[in-house]
Structure 1
Amino acid sequence: MRTKGLVAGLLVAAGAMAGGVMAGGAAAAQEVQPADLGDERHAGYYYPSPQTEETYVARARTLQEANRTLRLGFVTGFTQGQLEAPTPIWFVIYAKGADSEKMIITALEEGKIDTLYRARGLLAALTAMARQLPVFQEHGLQDWFTFFDLAKMLGFEQITISDGKGYAHRVNIE
């Protein structure tokens, strides 16, 4: 697989994904105790401490070219796609961490992403969108890879999804 074309395709795809509105996972969510978060500096600032957490063992591998610039490019492309869409933005995706390796998805409206089931619903919608990306379809991965696999390819290590008020769920990507 040609990674230069793949990387370019991923960046273009980010905008295309956002114009519409991914769940994998072989793990069940588990309750998280506050001590389990270690020195999590983003909890309490960008989102409340996650109540649940799971680990997704990715089917994809991290791209050799995956770096901070690529992850920020993906987030920027996704946001640009949202801004160009005819519908109002009701959630945002952004990256944090020393190397922008932590993806955060936050609702901007009351009553959205406020349960584990709604969080998984949004992630399932993002998977459906990712599976339409040429980069997945051209390589026959549309029935196999998920949004979590896309995140792994880009080098994200975790995704935290929150209602922006009192609920958060963490997905660690291995």
Structure 2
Amino acid sequence: MRGIVILGAWMLLAAMPAQANDLHAGYYYPQPETREVYISEVPMANDATESSRAAFVVGLAAQQLKQSHAPGYHLFAKGAELEKIIIVATGPERYDNLFRMRALLASLTSMARATPLFAQSAQPYELNFLDFCKLMGFEQVTVSNGDNFAHQITIR
């Protein structure tokens, strides 16, 4: 019994830093309800830097502005080295479940394929948005409906 209590306490403590280090939860999005780890076989690009991650986010925002309608989400790069992407819906009933969030990520794959760095990949059409994030050096993607639901993906 004592071993189970110690194991339980250790597991609780091991999980706490990941939650405590998320300074953006409660500000840009609610505490994530769901989490997953995405393992990408794509190596990080040698020229992936804080500046290239910032340029990527600015480029995606510029693509949104070219559309004839208001964007359905806002995209931010955050973290000490801009290693996190935050995507937040701009209105109600958008990206309010895991399936809609994954559809958004699939849509972002198409947008990312238009960037020069994605085209440098040996097989760009076999990669998805999360692979591209890994290539750029992003370590985490959080998608939220901006109200009461958030999903967080750790990229390895």
Q: TM-score scaled by structure 1? A: 0.74
Superposed counterparts of 1:151-170, under 5 Å:
151-170=133-152
Partners in 1 of 2:47 and 2:121 — Cα distance? 18
Are residues 1:119 and 2:114 paired?
A: no
> Does residue 75 in structure 1 map to residue 57 in structure 2?
yes
- CA gap of 1:128–1:77, structure 2 versus 1, over 3 A, is closer
> Could you tell me whether the CA contact under 8 Å between 1:52 and 1:168 is conserved in 2?
yes
Q: Does 2:2 correspond to 1:41?
A: no
Q: Cα distance 1:126–1:143, how it changes in 2: closer, same or farther (>3 A)?
A: same
**What's the CA shift string for 1:69-97, capped at 9, x where partnerless?**
11111111111121122121111111010
Count of residue pairs brought into register by the alignment: 142
Q: Which of 63, 66, 74 is the aligned partner of 1:92? A: 74
CA-based RMSD = 2.1
Q: TM-score, normalised by structure 2?
A: 0.82
Kindly indicate whether the alpha-carbon contact (under 8 Å) linking 2:118 and 2:132 is maintained by their aligned counterparts in 1: no
Where does the alignment leave 5 or more consecutive residues of structure 2 unmatched? 1-14
Q: Match for residue 129 of structure 2?
A: 147
- Aligned-residue offset at 1:67: 1.1
Which stretches of structure 1, 4 residues or longer, exceed 2 Å deviation after superposition? Answer: 33-36, 127-140
Distance 1:164 1:135, change over 3 A: same
The Cα of 1:121 is off from its aligned counterpart by: 1.1
What are structure 1's unaligned runs of at least 5 residues? 1-32
Q: Deviations over 1:8-48 (max 9, x none)?
A: xxxxxxxxxxxxxxxxxxxxxxxxx8775232111001100
Give the structure 2 partner of residue 130 of structure 1.
Answer: 112
More helix as a share of residues: 2
Is the 8 Å Cα contact of residues 160 and 168 (structure 1) preserved in structure 2?
Answer: yes
Query: Larger Cα Rg: Structure 1 or Structure 2?
Result: 2
